[in-house]
A and B are shown apart, each in its own frame.
Chain A
C-alpha cells in the first residue's frame, strides 16, 4: 500500500468511526465536576431519599475518592464488571467503600438501582 492509499484508508476509518458513534447516538463520556455530580438525583422519590441519606455523602465529594455520581469516565470501567459484581462489592464493602454503602435500610434491589443511577445508566442507558 502506497503512503497515499494508506492516508485515504485512515481517513475512511476515521469517518466510519465518527458515523458509527453518531449512529449509536452516544458521545464519548466527559468528566463531571463535584457540583455537576451533586446536582443529580434519582427520578424515583424513594430512591432519591435513600441516595440523599447515604451514597451522596461520598459519591459527590472528590476528596472521598469515591467515583462521582454520573461521571461515566469513572463509572464505565466499573459498569463493565457487571451489575452482580458491583452489587456484591456494595453489600460486602471493598477498598474505601464501606459495606452497604452505609445505607442500612437498602435492600439488594435498592442498591442495584442506586448503582445504576450513579453509573449514569438510569433509564436503561
Chain B
C-alpha cells in the first residue's frame, strides 16, 4: 500500500524535478549566444553591432581623418557602409565591401555665439559632444537615452529623446556637408540643394557620408531629473498631462508588476546635485530575477514586485542636461520602436502590455514611452506629425521574435513608423504608404548614388 509519506516524497520529488526543469529551461533560453569566428576563412575580421544581432566580415575597413581621405575612401569595394557606434539593431551596417568608420572625423569645427550654432564633425560621439558644447556655453536641445552614438549615426536613423515640443536630433540641423558616392562634396541646407537636405538629413547612410553638421543649439542650462515609481494604470491616465507639464517626460512600464518609472527633466536654478551611482542595472537584474523565479506564476510575480518596490523614494539629480539626459547602458539588449500618432499612443501601449502579460511571460525588460515633436525631414518618422514612441526590448541573450508577433501588428495598425535603427519588418512598399515624401527621397537617392554603391541588402529592401 502506498503510504502518505511515499506520496508526499513523490510529490516533493516531482516538484523538485519540475523546478529544476524550469531552471534548466531558463538557463538554456538565456545562454550567451554562440560566438562567431573572430576571423573568417579569408582572414577578414568580424564586425558586429552593439547588440550582437547583426554582423559581417568587411573586405576593407577605413577610418578617414579628413574630408579628402573620405573622398578617397568612397572608391573602396562596395557596398560602402558608414558606421557610427554600431548601435542600430537592424542590418543597416553589415557589408562585405567597405566598412567606413567615422571615428576620426570628430570634434568641434567652429561656432557662432550669437546664433547659438555649432559646426561639428559628423563622427563626434554624443558623450564627447556634450562637454564640447558646454565649453562654449551651448547644449543640444535634446539628447537620446544612450550617449555612445555618433552624431552622424544618430541623425541617419532619426534618433530622438523625449519632450513636448522637442524635436529629434535631426530637427535642429541647419546645414550639412556630405561626400556623395561619386566623391563630390555637397553642401546643403534649406537654401542650398534643399532636396538633398530634406532627403538626406535622416538618410540611413544611403545618400553619401556626412562629414560635417551645423546644429542649432541653445544656451547651456541646468536640469532637475526626477525618477518616480508610479502605478502603471495611473501613469497611463496621467501621461498626456504629464507630457505637457515637463520639459522632458518619459516612462518605462515594468511589465508584470503593475508599476512604471516616470522620468522627468525640468530646467532649474537649484544647486548641482550630481547623479548618484547607476541604479538601472540593479533594477533590471531584479526584474530578471523575478522573471526567473515567477515566470509561470504571474500573480506571485506581481505581488513580489510590488512588495519589493514599495516605499522606494524618488531619485533626484540636478546638473547640466548633457550629464543627465543620456545614460550608460551596460546591459546589452535588442529593441523595436515605432512612432505612432500621439493620440494613439496610450491605447496601443495598453494593448501591447496586455499582449505581453498574456502571451510572453519571458519578457522582463521595460516598455518605454516617449513623445517627439514634428519636423520636416522627408524620411523622419516624425515628418509633419507629433508622435508618441513605444519601444519594447529583449536582453541580448534572449529571443526577440515575440516583438514581431505581439507588438509590431499593434504598432502598424496605428499607422506607426518604425525607428530606422531598431527592429522592424517593413520594406519599400509599406514605407511608401507611411511617408508622404518617400518617392521624392527615393529619387534623390537614385540621383546621388545611381550605381547603388551604398546599398547593402537591408538598405536595398528599404529603398526598393
A-to-B contact residues, CB < 8 Å: 49-50, 53-54, 57-58, 61-66, 87-88, 91-96, 98-100, 102-105, 107-108
Q: Which size bracket describes the interface of B in this complex?
A: 35 or more
Instruction: Give A89's nearest chain B residue, CB to CB.
Output: B35
Q: Give the number of A-B contacts (CB < 8 Å).
A: 86
Contact B35 A63 (CB under 8 A): no
Instruction: Give B52's nearest chain A residue, CB to CB.
Output: A93
Instruction: Give A61's nearest chain B residue, CB to CB.
Output: B328
State whether A96 and B47 are in contact (beta carbons under 8 Å apart), knowing that A63-B278, A108-B39 are contacts in the complex: no
B-to-A contact residues, CB < 8 Å: 32, 35-36, 38-39, 45-52, 55, 61-63, 83, 85-86, 99, 101, 103-104, 106, 125, 127, 148, 277-278, 281, 328, 330-332
Interface centre among A94, A95, A100 (most CB of B within 10 A): A100
State whether A99 and B85 are in contact (beta carbons under 8 Å apart), knowing that A104-B99, A108-B45 are contacts in the complex: no
What separation, in Å, do the CA atoms of A99 and B87 have in the docked complex? 11
7 A/B residue pairs, CB under 8 Å, sorted by A:
A64-B328, A98-B49, A99-B49, A99-B50, A102-B148, A104-B101, A105-B61
State whether A57 and B127 are in contact (beta carbons under 8 Å apart), knowing that A63-B278, A66-B330, A87-B38 are contacts in the complex: yes
Residues of B within 8 A of A64 (CB): 328, 330
| A-side interface mostly | helix
Residues of B within 8 A of A108 (CB): 38-39, 45
Contact A53 B46 (CB under 8 A): no
Contact B46 A92 (CB under 8 A): yes
What separation, in Å, do the CA atoms of A36 and B42 have in the docked complex? 41
- Shortest A112–chain B CB gap in Å is 12
- Shortest A109–chain B CB gap in Å is 11
Residues of B within 8 A of A100 (CB): 46-48, 86
- Shortest A102–chain B CB gap in Å is 6
Residues of A within 8 A of B32 (CB): 94-95
Residues of A within 8 A of B332 (CB): 96, 98
Residues of A within 8 A of B86 (CB): 98-100, 102, 104
Contact A88 B328 (CB under 8 A): no
What separation, in Å, do the CA atoms of A88 and B61 have in the docked complex? 19
Contact A105 B48 (CB under 8 A): no
Residues of B within 8 A of A92 (CB): 35-36, 38, 46, 48
Contact A93 B125 (CB under 8 A): no
Residues of B within 8 A of A95 (CB): 32
Contact A63 B277 (CB under 8 A): yes
* Candidates A58, A62, A104; contact of B83 at CB < 8 Å: A104
- Shortest A57–chain B CB gap in Å is 6
Residues of B within 8 A of A65 (CB): 281, 330
In order of increasing CB-CB distance, the 5 nearest A-B pairs are: A99-B48, A105-B63, A63-B278, A91-B38, A104-B101
Contact A104 B103 (CB under 8 A): yes
Contact A57 B104 (CB under 8 A): no
Interface centre among A57, A58, A93 (most CB of B within 10 A): A93
Contact B63 A104 (CB under 8 A): yes
What separation, in Å, do the CA atoms of A36 and B197 have in the docked complex? 44
Contact B330 A63 (CB under 8 A): yes
